[in-house]
C-alpha cells in the first residue's frame, strides 16, 4: 500500500467532491425531469412519434412554397386568397382530414389587386424606381407622365398654400427622413435575459392606446380631408418613403374597401433611398419628370369573405373541440411568407403529422385559416360570434362549453420559445409539463402576459382559452412584416419544423386530456372597436 500523503489525501478528497457534485446534479436533473412528468401527464411515446414524423418527413416548407410562390400575395377579397384557400382545403382532404370547406362570413367589402406597376424618373437623368401602390388605391389607365413636386400637407393652412398648384403633379407629401447605417443586425434570437423579462407580470398600460390617443383621433379625420384635397386638385399621385431601407419597403392600405367609400388619390410608397434622390434633386430647383403605369383591379362582385376549416374527428369526446389556426390573408407587396403563411403552414403541418402518425385523438381537432385579420381580426371574430359568443353582449352559445383551447401562430418564422398564458394562471403547471420534452428545442418560457394583435384574441375575448406562442423575432419587425421582403427566402426551415412538432404535441395532449383546459372567468361585454388587428 502506498503511504498516505497530504497531497494524495487532497487528491482523493477532490475526486470525492467531484463525484458527489455529479451525483447531485444528476439528481437535480432527474427531479426536474420527473417534475414535469408527474405534475401533468405527458405521453413521451407520442412525443417521440411526433418528433420522428415532423423532423424526418417534414412537408412544412413544401406547404410554404405552395402558399407563397404559387399562390402569392393573399389580400382579403383577392383571387390569390381564394386560390390559396381552395388549395389548402384540398390538400388537407388528401391527408385524411374531413369537412374541409370555405366557411363564409361577411360582409368584408371589395377585393383589390395590383396587376402591373412600372415607375421611372425620366429627367434630369432616367432611372427606374422601386415602389409599390398602396392597397385599395386607383391606377393610372396607362402610362402617366408628370412633374414631381414637394408639397407636404400637414395642417389646414397647407390646403390654402398648395391649392391650384398640384394638378398633374407627383406629390412628395412626406418629409424626407434620415437613413442611418444598420449598426445592429436585422435578425435576432431572444436571449435568456429577454425570455426572463418576458416571463414577468406586465403592468397594465396607463392611458389610451395609440388608436385612441388624442393625436390619432385628430389626425384620422384630417387624413380623409387631405385625400379629398389631393383628389380635387387632380394630382398624378402621392408618394411617400414609407418605413424601411436597403430596398425594403413597408406598404399597407391607402383607400377604402367599401363600395361607396370616398375617392382617394393614387398612392405609391417608394424605397427611401430613391425618394431621397428625387427630394434632394427638387431642393436644388432642378425639375424632375416621372412616369408611372399602374393597373389596379377592384373586385366588387363578391363582398363576403371566408375562413378555411377542416377537422380530424375525435373518438369518445368528439363533441369537444381543439382549434388551431393562423391567418391566411396577407398584404400585397411580398408573398405573405412570415405574415402569415408561416403560421398557416405550421398548423397544416401539425395536423398532417398527427394524421401520419396515426395517434388517436379523443377530442375533435379543427384547423382554421382566417381571412380579414389584417383589417382587424375580422374572420376569427366573425367565426367566434357565429359559433361561441358575441363579445359585445357575452351571450354564450352551446358550443362555448365544448371548446377546450385555441392555439395560434402569427409571429413569423422564428422558433417557438414558450407560450403566453393570457393571464390564465391555472394553465401554468399544465403547459410547463407539456413544454418539458421541448426544452432541448429551446422552448423554456411561460409568460403570464397577454399578447395582442392576432386571432387568439377573438377567443380570449369571449372567455375561451386562446393562446399565442412566444417566438424568436428573427427579422419580423425589421425586415419582413408587411414589406416587399416578406417572401419564402426569409423563412427558417429548421424553426418551422420545430414549431410544427411543438404545436402537434400541444394539440395531442389537449385533445387527449381527461378534462378540458381551465378557463378564466367570463369577461364583461365589450363595446365594438373601430380599430384593431395586425395593422
CB 131 within 8 A of CB 119: yes
Question: In this predicted structure, what is the pLDDT of residue 7?
Answer: 38
C-alpha dist (Å) from residue 199 to 37, 193, 415, 444, 470: 22, 10, 17, 10, 10
Question: In this predicted structure, what is the pLDDT of residue 73?
Answer: 98
Is 155 exposed, middle or buried, given 0-12, 13-18 or 19+ CB atoms closer than 10 A?
Answer: exposed
Distance (Å, rounded) from C-alpha 7 to C-alpha 17?
Answer: 15
Q: Torsion-angle region of residue 332: left (phi > 0), alpha (psi -120 to 50) or beta?
A: alpha
Distance (Å, rounded) from C-alpha 180 to C-alpha 234?
Answer: 35
CB 321 within 8 A of CB 403: yes
Helix 342-357 crosses helix 493-512 at what angle (to 10 degrees)? 60
pTM summary value? 0.90
Q: Which three cell numbers stand for residue 508?
A: 395531442
Question: In this predicted structure, what is the pLDDT of residue 221?
Answer: 85
CB 307 within 8 A of CB 210: no
List alpha helices for 40-140, DSSP H. 44-56, 60-65, 79-95
Distance (Å, rounded) from C-alpha 91 to C-alpha 88?
Answer: 5
> How crowded is residue 210: how many other Cβ atoms within 10 Å of its Cβ?
8
**3-class SS of residue 501:** helix
Cα-based angle 304, 99, 376 (whole degrees, multiple of 5)? 35
Q: Where do the domains of the chain lie, and which CATH numbers do they carry?
A: 39-108+304-512 (3.40.630.10), 113-190+207-299 (3.50.30.30)
Distance (Å, rounded) from C-alpha 167 to C-alpha 408?
Answer: 48
CB 155 within 8 A of CB 134: no
CB 394 within 8 A of CB 327: no
**3-class SS of residue 392:** coil
CB 67 within 8 A of CB 517: no
Element (H, E) at 172: strand 170-172
Element (H, E) at 120: strand 111-123
Q: Which three cell numbers stand for residue 213?
A: 390617443
C-alpha dist (Å) from residue 85 to 76, 268, 296, 513: 11, 29, 22, 31
For the chain, list residues with pLDDT below 70.
Answer: 1-38, 206-218, 529-535
C-alpha dist (Å) from residue 508 to 97, 148, 429, 484: 15, 59, 17, 36
Question: In this predicted structure, what is the pLDDT of residue 528?
Answer: 77
C-alpha 106 chain-centroid distance: 21
Question: In this predicted structure, what is the pLDDT of residue 443?
Answer: 98
Amino acid at each position: 500500500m502506498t503511504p498516505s500523503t497530504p497531497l494524495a489525501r487532497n487528491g482523493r478528497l477532490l475526486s470525492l467532491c467531484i463525484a458527489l457534485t455529479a451525483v447531485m446534479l444528476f439528481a437535480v436533473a432527474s427531479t426536474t425531469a420527473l417534475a414535469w412528468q408527474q405534475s401533468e401527464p405527458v405521453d413521451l411515446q407520442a412525443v417521440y412519434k411526433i418528433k420522428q414524423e415532423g423532423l424526418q418527413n417534414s412537408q412544412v416548407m413544401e406547404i410554404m412554397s405552395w402558399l407563397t410562390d404559387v399562390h402569392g400575395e393573399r389580400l382579403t377579397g383577392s383571387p390569390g386568397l381564394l386560390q390559396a384557400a381552395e388549395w389548402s382545403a384540398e390538400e388537407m382532404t388528401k391527408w385524411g382530414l374531413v369537412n374541409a370547406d370555405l366557411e363564409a362570413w361577411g360582409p368584408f367589402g371589395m377585393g383589390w389587386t395590383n396587376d402591373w406597376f412600372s415607375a421611372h424618373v425620366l429627367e434630369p437623368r432616367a432611372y427606374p424606381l422601386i415602389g409599390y401602390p398602396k392597397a385599395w388605391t386607383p391606377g393610372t389607365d396607362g402610362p402617366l407622365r408628370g412633374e414631381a413636386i414637394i408639397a407636404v400637407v400637414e395642417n389646414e393652412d397647407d390646403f390654402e398654400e398648395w391649392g391650384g398648384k398640384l394638378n398633374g403633379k407627383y406629390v412628395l407629401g412626406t418629409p424626407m427622413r434620415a437613413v442611418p447605417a444598420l449598426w445592429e443586425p436585422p435578425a435576432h434570437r431572444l436571449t435568456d435575459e429577454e425570455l426572463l423579462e418576458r416571463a414577468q407580470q406586465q403592468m397594465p398600460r396607463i392611458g389610451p392606446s395609440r388608436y385612441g390617443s388624442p393625436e390619432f383621433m385628430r389626425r384620422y379625420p384630417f387624413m380623409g380631408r387631405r385625400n379629398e384635397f389631393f383628389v380635387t386638385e387632380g394630382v398624378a399621385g402621392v408618394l411617400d418613403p414609407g418605413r424601411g431601407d436597403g430596398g425594403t419597403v413597408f406598404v399597407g392600405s391607402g383607400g377604402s374597401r367599401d363600395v361607396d367609400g370616398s375617392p382617394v388619390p393614387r398612392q405609391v410608397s417608394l424605397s427611401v433611398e430613391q425618394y431621397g434622390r428625387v427630394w434632394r434633386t427638387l431642393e436644388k430647383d432642378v425639375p424632375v419628370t416621372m412616369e408611372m403605369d399602374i393597373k389596379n383591379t377592384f373586385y366588387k362582385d363578391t363582398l363576403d369573405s371566408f375562413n378555411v376549416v377542416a377537422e380530424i374527428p375525435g373518438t369518445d369526446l368528439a363533441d369537444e373541440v381543439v382549434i388551431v389556426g393562423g391567418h391566411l390573408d396577407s398584404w400585397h407587396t411580398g408573398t405573405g411568407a412570415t405574415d402569415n403563411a408561416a403560421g398557416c403552414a405550421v398548423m397544416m403541418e401539425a395536423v398532417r403529422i398527427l394524421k401520419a402518425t396515426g395517434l388517436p385523438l379523443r377530442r375533435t381537432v379543427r384547423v382554421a385559416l382566417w381571412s380579414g385579420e389584417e383589417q382587424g381580426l375580422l374572420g376569427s371574430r366573425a367565426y367566434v360570434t357565429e359559433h361561441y359568443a358575441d363579445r359585445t353582449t357575452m351571450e354564450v352559445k352551446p358550443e362555448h362549453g365544448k371548446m377546450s383551447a385555441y392555439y395560434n401562430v402569427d409571429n413569423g418564422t422564428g422558433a417557438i420559445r414558450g407560450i403566453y398564458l393570457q393571464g390564465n394562471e391555472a394553465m401554468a403547471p399544465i403547459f410547463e409539463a407539456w413544454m418539458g420534452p421541448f426544452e432541448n428545442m429551446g422552448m423554456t418560457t411561460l409568460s403570464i402576459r397577454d399578447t395582442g394583435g392576432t386571432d387568439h384574441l377573438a377567443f380570449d375575448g369571449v372567455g375561451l382559452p386562446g393562446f399565442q406562442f412566444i417566438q424568436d423575432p428573427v427579422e419580423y419587425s425589421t425586415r419582413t412584416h408587411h414589406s416587399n421582403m416578406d417572401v419564402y427566402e426569409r423563412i427558417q426551415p429548421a424553426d418551422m419544423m420545430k414549431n410544427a412538432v411543438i404545436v402537434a404535441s400541444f394539440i395531442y395532449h389537449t385533445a387527449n386530456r381527461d378534462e378540458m383546459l381551465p378557463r378564466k372567468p367570463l369577461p364583461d361585454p365589450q363595446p365594438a372597436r373601430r380599430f384593431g388587428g395586425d395593422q
